Amino acid sequence: MWKTFLIAALGLGLAACQPSKRYQSFTPGELWLDDNDVHINAHGGGILFEKGRYYWFGEHKTAGEGGNKANVGVHCYSSDDLYNWKDEGIALHVEPEGSGSPIEKGCILERPKVIHNPKTGKYVMWFHLEPKGQGYGGAQSGVAVSDKVAGPYTFLRAGRINPGKWACNVPDSLKEAPVFATEDAYSGGSLPASLDSLNIQKRDFEGGQMARDMNLFVDDDGKAYHIYASEENSTLQIAQLTEDYTGHNGVYARCFEGRFMEAPAMFKRNGKYYLIMSGCTGWAPNAARSAVADSIFGPWKELGNPCIDADSALTYHSQSTFVLPVQGKEDTYIYMGDRWTPENAIDGRYVWLPVRFEGERVVIPWESEWKLEGKGE
Ligand code: GAL
């Protein structure tokens, strides 16, 4: 009798300790509260699946227009079901104002992504960095490492990419062609007929390639890649990281020359590489783009706008940040996008939608509320 009582009491106790599962579905664009009842603050984010949990890293924004600057750092949340997120705190803190650190408070630190290196055991975070007070002209990349997935991360360095190295697919004609000052090559404010006439890749040869909107991708063979908008955003570059993932090894390709792709999100399906991207209109949404390739360095074939429902021309008022392969569910991917609110940065919303395939084509339908389904549930 008392045994039954004990078991029941234990059961009740356990139930009381279990955090309640607030969400059982995704509601794109709505407020999304964490376990402290606070709207999730992880913009331009990405997800790492590690030891049975998902870890979501993103920009911690603050209120108002000034909240687009990095005043706090990179926020981390964790989840076992992708609907309910536990606040894991700030994974990478900005350095105090006046410290002179590249990641000083007030810098621009965007689109952080984290991968795990099995050889070193370290978690490696890369992000787009613009040193304080220099607008978006720096186009640097920062890297930080930690022994623990949720941090704290230690900042290593920031800079341009692959100085003194040509892309593996740069034509010899560009190596020899002159470099024009950007102002000379633009006529009447419009873009030059051929972007290659600017030869930005050569302009930046010595100092290193520009990198703004970015992502990371780890291939099945453990090789990791940095994918970023380069050459004044005109051309996407895909660069291999060193074995420890904390640097670039000099091997990189130029893709989508002159296509002005931003917000790249890469995933692999049935041996093919896919990219979902946006055009370049700042915080304002535009039509998403998609592309497929047999090899990560291309050639890439554009597949058009993957969105198909009302407001598809604005990617349902969002911009891509990541595509998440859902663990344990066959052929299940989530499009993760940001609905930016630059006038009050902290209120930015998340637009997560299912990714479907029609043959080779990628399709993202609009759903105002949806759940993960399919094999493995
Ligand atoms: C967007 C970019 C964002 C941010 C913004 C600033 O195009 O995707 O990450 O840099 O511009 O205007």
Ligand 1 centre to CA of 29 (Å) is 18
* CA nearest to 241, candidates 261, 221, 268: 221
Q: Looking at residues 300-310, what average pLDDT do you find?
A: 98
Distance from residue 141's CA to the centre of ligand 1 (Å):
15
Position 286: which residue type? N
pLDDT, one tens digit per residue, over 10-42 is: 444 444 445 568 999 999 999 999 999 999 999
Ligand 1 centroid distance, CA of 44 (Å): 9
Q: What is the pLDDT, as a whole number, of residue 191?
A: 54
**What 3-state DSSP class applies to 314?**
helix
Binning pLDDT at 50, 70 and 90, where does residue 176 land? confident
Cβ-contact 203, 179 below 8 angstroms: yes
CA of 38 to the centre of ligand 1 (A): 24
Query: What end-to-end distance do the CA atoms of the chain give, in Å?
Result: 38
Helix, strand or coil, per DSSP, at residue 326:
coil
Task: Count CA atoms within 13 Å of residue 217 on its CB side.
Answer: 27
The pLDDT tens digits for 203-261 are: 899 999 999 999 999 999 999 999 999 999 999 999 999 999 999 999 999 999 989 99
- Which of 213, 318, 341 is the pocket-test mutation for ligand 1 (most atoms within 8 Å of CB)? 213
Ligand 1 proximal residues by C-beta, below 6 Å: 44, 110-111, 213, 262-263, 282-283, 319
Residue 329 has pLDDT above 70, yes or no: yes
Q: How far is CA 208 from the centre of its chain?
A: 21
| CA 376 to ligand 1 center in whole angstroms | 36
Nearest to 231 by CA among 216, 212, 248: 212
Is the per-residue pLDDT at 312 higher than 60?
A: yes
Sequence-distant (≥ 6) Cβ neighbours of residue 183 within 8 angstroms: none
The one-letter code for the residue type at 152 is P
Which residues are within 8 A (CB) of 83 and not within 5 positions of it... i.e. 6 or more apart? 21, 22, 23, 24, 25, 26
Q: Which atom of ligand 1 is nearest to the CA of 262?
A: 8
Tokens representing 246?
């904390």
CB-based burial of residue 121 (10 Å sphere; 0-12 exposed, 13-18 middle, 19+ buried)? exposed
> Whose Cα sits closest to atom 2 in ligand 1?
282
Which atom of ligand 1 lies nearest, measured to the CA of 263?
A: 8
Ligand 1: nearest atom to the Cα of 108: 10
Q: Kindly state the average pLDDT of the residues 40-51.
A: 98
Query: How does pLDDT run across 268-285, given as a tens digit for each residue?
Result: 999 999 999 999 999 999
Residue 2 pLDDT exceeds 50: no
pLDDT band at 8 (very low <50, low <70, confident <90, very high): very low
Give the distance (Å) from ligand 1 centre to CA of residue 213: 7
Mean pLDDT, the chain, as a whole number?
92
Q: Distance from the CA of 315 to the center of ligand 1, in angstroms?
A: 15
Determine which residue's CA is closest to atom 5 belonging to ligand 1: 282
Residue 95 has pLDDT above 90, yes or no: yes
Task: Tell me how long the chain is.
Answer: 377
